[in-house]
Amino acid sequence: MFKMRFKIGRLMFSAVALRGEHTLSLLELQHVSKTYDNITKALQDISLTVEAGEFVSIIGPSGAGKSTLLRCINRLIDVTEGTIVFDGQDITQVKGKDLRKVRTKAGMIFQHYNLVNRLSVIENVLHGRLGYKSTFSGSIGHYTEAEKEQAFMIIEKLGLTEQAYKRCDELSGGQKQRVGIARALMQEPKLILCDEPIASLDPNSSKIIMDYLKDINQTMKITCLVNLHQVDVAMNYSERIIGITSGQKIFDGQAKELDKNIIHQIYQSKDGQLIIDMKE
């Protein structure tokens, strides 16, 4: 954990070592468990860290707990046990204004886009600012000129200028997801949480979306945590992969360390059941 380094003369030493602790990660989950209705153990004792600037994929079969994990991080649901520290703050129990701030700092992108279909692209993108506004100015759709300019810049970045005034229900799936990304960027987030962002898209649109996410990560330095069920996509786009199965973390390492055996463990599959070609 030598993330933040200060150079003093020829001596390099880490802030972590100075403080004697390790709380400088952007996100840290400590022993997080989530049980639904006292019955379903969706997450069991998950500990993990995400450093600022990383692009991390979470893979695992359907029902493994991937969505639950992201929902705990942006506090759409409460954890049953454990602690979540985000951007230096324990957010496990935050409420009200503080919770709103957390949600603003963690943009969310969904499989089914979660747009307001009857509204235009620009209106949906501007919704990314709502977390910064009073309920009143948000509800009357009051945005500053600077916010509108910023929205158009982001729309342009995502190749949606021609669609800016179209209603979202006139767009293709890939375009809708780009609106989802644009809305998340309007929040000026430190972290983008993506829950199966390409699960409803064809291969071409999927590539476009993953390329945008990677570009945002690299050029805007926004940390990305992406739930995926496609192992090959995770391996192509992320430096680090976390594998979960039945609510437990069973792999956390570099994409290149992922081999056939580990994938079989994550997906509880047998030889011959994997579609992708993997090294042994």
Ligand X SMILES: Nc1ncnc2c1ncn2[C@@H]1O[C@H](COP(=O)(O)OP(=O)(O)O)[C@@H](O)[C@H]1O
| Contact footprint for Mg ion (CB under 5 A) | 66-67
Q: How far apart are CA 226 and CA 210, in angstroms?
A: 10
Chosen from Mg ion, ligand X, none, partner binding at 42 (C-beta under 5 to 8 Å by type)? ligand X
State how beta strands 27-36 and 106-110 pair: unpaired
3-state DSSP percent of the chain in helix, strand and coil, to 5 = 40, 25, 35
Q: Supply 136's token pair.
A: 């009143």
Chosen from ligand X, Mg ion, none, partner binding at 36 (C-beta under 5 to 8 Å by type)? ligand X
Q: Is 168 helix (H, G, I), strand (E, B) or coil?
A: helix
CB of 238 to ligand X, least distance (A): 17
CB of 203 to ligand X, least distance (A): 21
Give the nearer residue to Mg ion in terms of CB position, either 24 or 213.
213
In sequence order, the β-bridge partners of residue 120 are 167
Give the nearer residue to ligand X in terms of CB position, either 30 or 80.
80
- The residue number whose beta carbon is nearest to Mg ion equals 67
Q: Residue 7 class from Cβ within 10 Å (0-12 exposed, 13-18 middle, 19+ buried)?
A: exposed
CB of 66 to Mg ion, least distance (A): 5
CB of 213 to ligand X, least distance (A): 18
Give the nearer residue to Mg ion in terms of CB position, either 67 or 230.
67
Distances (CA, A) of 204 to 99, 163, 168, 178, 244: 37, 19, 20, 13, 27
Give the nearer residue to Mg ion in terms of CB position, either 58 or 185.
58
Give the nearer residue to ligand X in terms of CB position, either 110 or 143.
110
Q: Supply 41's token pair.
A: 């153990």
Chosen from Mg ion, ligand X, none, partner binding at 176 (C-beta under 5 to 8 Å by type)? none
Task: Strands of the chain (E only): list them.
Answer: 5-8, 11-14, 27-36, 40-50, 55-59, 81-86, 89-90, 106-110, 191-195, 223-228, 240-245, 248-254
Q: Supply 161's token pair.
A: 């200028």
Give the nearer residue to Mg ion in terms of CB position, either 34 or 66.
66
Scan residues 16-45 and list those touching ligand X (CB under 6 A). 36-37, 40, 42
Q: Is 154 helix (H, G, I), strand (E, B) or coil?
A: helix
Chain-centroid distance of CA 21 in Å reads 26
CB of 27 to ligand X, least distance (A): 18
Q: What would the x/- binding string for ligand X be over residues 213 to 252, using CB under 6 A?
A: ----------------------------------------
Q: What would the x/- binding string for ligand X be over residues 44 to 83, using CB under 6 A?
A: ----------------x-xxxxxxx---------------
Residues of this chain that interact with ligand X (CB under 6 A) are 36-37, 40, 42, 60, 62-68
